[in-house]
Structure formats: structure tokens, C-alpha cells
Amino acid sequence: MSSRLTIENFGDPRLAIVKANLSSLVGIAIAIIALAKKLVPVDTGQLQNTLMYITPTSTGGFNESPGELAPESEQLDLPVKKNNAVVGSGSKHWYPEFGTYRMIAQPFLRPAFLFFAKGRKAADIIKQFNQAEMAKELKGRVKTGFRII
Amino acid sequence: MFDYGDAIFEVLGNDATVLGILSTWVEGINTYPALFERRLIPHERKEEPVINYYRLTAIDGGSEIDSNAWTINCRATKQTISESLAYAVFDALNRESVTRGGNMYFFVTSLLPTLPLQNETDLFNTPVEAIIKARKN
């Protein structure tokens, strides 16, 4: 009589989820900043260039648009907690966001944030990254066979 | 189609505390509260305290229930008046519901800190953000 024992090396799906969540965080932050850069009123382009994101693993958006470069002093430098991201601008010229008594409001940051927070858009990004990471994890599984005699 | 701006006007334009703080403007024989559904206060209006309010989010079609974010800017020359007006707006709208044109609107508000002045001609602005949930009746 013989039987077969198969050991499957599952890897660590928890690690895949952690990786996917980090990628999702960056993905959502980039999506918000990209939309904010489209909505922001552009004169010289400096305000647009100050829009940026910070996540625990990466930073981007600052001085990555055409137009006048923003001074380094306007770069956001904030501590970011685990599983958190910061999107925003360190510019002193943020007034179009709320407008003033005699300047028209041209909100750019809040609409961009709310566009992704509302409905399932952010959830869809997270799902997409999680599916990709889990597919990679499943591909990496190794089957080892033993025959017991 | 939901008319969120109309619903905000309905509540604020009938709230005694808000109207007690807001200025008014006159056209012919009619007097109106200084409440503007615009991103910019009309240049010909010099009255203050004044409110301008506008939509922040996209309107999604094809839904029986929708949710939308609006900003209500409460502006005045004095910070204390701007804040009092914002508190009054916050209280008038928060968890309030109104029916207009066969649609029902429900408000949840947040009060933001007063923004600093941009220049000497600017007014203090204490924004109130309202999430409005709308449903066809």
C-alpha cells in the first residue's frame, strides 16, 4: 500500500496584503494629486508644482508639473503614520481653494479628495492592487510531493 | 435632478439666527439676505456679513439617492462675527432635512477653522462644509 503526501508551500498571504495595501495607498495618493493638478488654477504653475503626496514608502508630485518651479521651502515635510498618506500643498498661495472676498473660489484639493473618497473609487484601487498581489503570491506557491510506501 | 443649492437657501433663508447676523441687499422694493449660490460674491455687492456657497463634488446620474459636498463660506470683517455666523449656519443645517420639488435633502455639517486674511481688503472666512444626502420622494 502506498499513499502520497503533498506539502504546499503557501508563502505568506499576510505579507502580500501588507504589500498590496502599501501600493494601494500610493495609488490613491497619486490619483488624488493627479486630479488636483488638473483642477488647480494655473497662472505661473507654481501652485500646481507644490501639490504633492507623502506615504510611508514614497513621496512625489512636487515640482513634477510643467511651469514655474516651486521653492524647496514649500515642499511638505510631515511625519506620516503607518497606513496613512498625506496629500496637499505647502504653498502660501492656497487661496483659490476657498476663494477670498474678491477672488473666485476654484477648489482643487477637496474635490479631488472627495472624488475618490465618495463611492467605490478608492475601494476599487485597493481591490485591484490586492488582486494583483494575491495573484503573484499564488503563482509563487510550490508543491512538494512525497510518496509513502 | 436634485437642486442642492435651493435646499441650502431654503434652510438658511428661513433661519432666524442666520438672518439676524447676515446683512441684506435691496433690489427695487425687495430685500434679500446676502446669501449667494456662487463661487464669487457679486462685485456690485458691498454688504457684509455675507455668505457664498458652492458645490464641491460631482453629481452622479442615474441614482435615486445621491450625496454631495458643499462649502458655505461665512465672511465678515470681524473674526468673531464670521465665527458666529458659521456656528449659526452649522446649527441650522446640521442633521436638518428639507423637502423641495419632490426631493428630500438631509444635511450633515462640519465647521472649519477661520481662514487667515489674504490681504487688507479680504474678509474673515469661516467655512462650513455640508454633506447633503438627497432622495427622490
CATH number of the domain where residue B57 is located: 3.30.2000.20
- Please give the pLDDT value at position A149: 65
B56 vs A101, A103, A110: nearest CB: A110
| In the predicted structure, residue B63 carries a pLDDT above the cut 90 | no
Q: List the single best residue of A47, A100, A118 to mutate versus B (max B Cβ within 10 A).
A: A100
Q: Greater confidence, A101 or A147? A: A101
Share of chain B above pLDDT 70, in %: 100
Q: Which of A13-22, A58-67, B92-101 has the lowest mean pLDDT?
A: A13-22
Q: Does A119 touch chain B (CB under 8 A)?
A: yes
Instruction: Give the pTM.
Output: 0.85
- Which chain B residue shows the shortest CA-CA distance from A101? B122
Which whole number is the average pLDDT over B13-41?
A: 94
Q: Does B109 touch chain A (CB under 8 A)?
A: no
- Please give the pLDDT value at position B11: 96
Q: How far is B101 from chain A (nearest CA, A)?
A: 25
| In the predicted structure, residue A30 carries a pLDDT above the cut 70 | yes
- Please give the pLDDT value at position A122: 86
Q: How confident is the model at residue A47 (pLDDT cuts 50, 70, 90)?
A: very high
Q: Which residue has the cell 463661487?
A: B39
- Which chain B residue shows the shortest CA-CA distance from A107? B56
Q: Distance (Å, rounded) from C-alpha B93 to C-alpha B86?
A: 11
Range of the domain at B60: 4-39+47-135
| Max CA distance (Å), chain B | 47
Pairing of strands B35-36, B50-55: parallel
Judge contact between A40 and A21, C-beta under 8 A: no
**Total structural domains within chain B:** 1
Helices A121-139, A13-39: crossing angle, 10 deg rounding: 140
Which whole number is the average pLDDT over B16-34?
A: 94
Q: How confident is the model at residue A25 (pLDDT cuts 50, 70, 90)?
A: very high
The alpha carbon of residue B68 and the mean position of all alpha carbons in its chain are separated, in whole angstroms, by 14
* Helix (H), strand (E) at residue B93: helix B79-93
| Long-range pairs of B28-36 with CB within 8 A, sequence gap ≥ 24 | B35/B9
Tell me the CA end-to-end span of chain B in Å, nearest whole number: 12
B118 vs A95, A105, A119: nearest CB: A95
